[in-house]
Amino acid sequence: MSSDKSPEGPLEGRLALVTGASKGIGAATAKALAAAGAHVVLTGRDVRALEAIEDEIHDAGGASTIAPVDLTEADGIARLATAIAGRWDKLDILVLSAAYLPTLTPVTQIDPKQFGTAITVNLIATQAMLAAFDPLLKRSGHGRVIGLTSSVGAQPRAYWSAYGSTKAAFESLLESYAAEVEKIGNVRVAIVDPGATRTAMRAKAYPGEDPKTVKEPSRVGERLVALLSDDFETGHRERVPETA
């Protein structure tokens, strides 16, 4: 169902995996990567939503494969890695976009179940993804990992503790991994804060905000493609600007 892509794409021939690819920034990033020539593996829980993104990619002349996975399932990531390793011998790009936002609340009123889900999706799954795909990233010779974070990870804010604490740990995990692989291969790691972006998660956190006052997810996807196309040093950090 796919068609030929332009051979001039800056990411032509590379395999990319994007978590949380069914909507928001993950979906926009997947489409941008495919437009740049990469074959994109779309992961997420919502199969229909993934199929819709895949159709958009194919209609635009790109290539993608859907791989539904629930990051809260203990063996879901292992099965995903096994499936990908059975089809491809390397992974060039891993974008960690999936995240869970618990209800904003004081520290003393955090819902334990929601907090547990946030820890699982935002932190435990990240470690599992790095462990599962590290061998394929190292085989690439040009492996790149981009983790999407939030400003509340580095700058604690009232009522954001359940989410912000998981993002702080997320960043620490990625920075440790970056330091561990820097001297033993070509895997490079970057942490990117998308900033205010028009997503369902943003609407949940700021229900009274006019969505037109914040940038579209496509802006983030375009910036990530530019970052991957120009290359970067491991440990790179940036925030996507609010204006072009």
CA angle 244, 42, 166 (to 5 degrees): 70
Establish whether 159 is a catalytic residue.
no
The total number of residues written for the chain in this structure: 244
- The residue annotated as part of the active site, out of 100, 159, 163, 177, is 163
CA distances, 182 to each of 32, 93, 178, 186, 213 (Å):
27, 16, 6, 7, 39
Residues 6+ apart with CB under 8 A from 146: 93, 94, 95, 96, 189, 190, 191, 192, 224, 227, 228
Nearest-Å Rg of the Cα atoms of the chain is: 17
Instruction: For helices 217-230 and 24-35, give the axis angle rounded to 10 degrees.
Output: 50
Q: Which residues are tagged catalytic?
A: 163
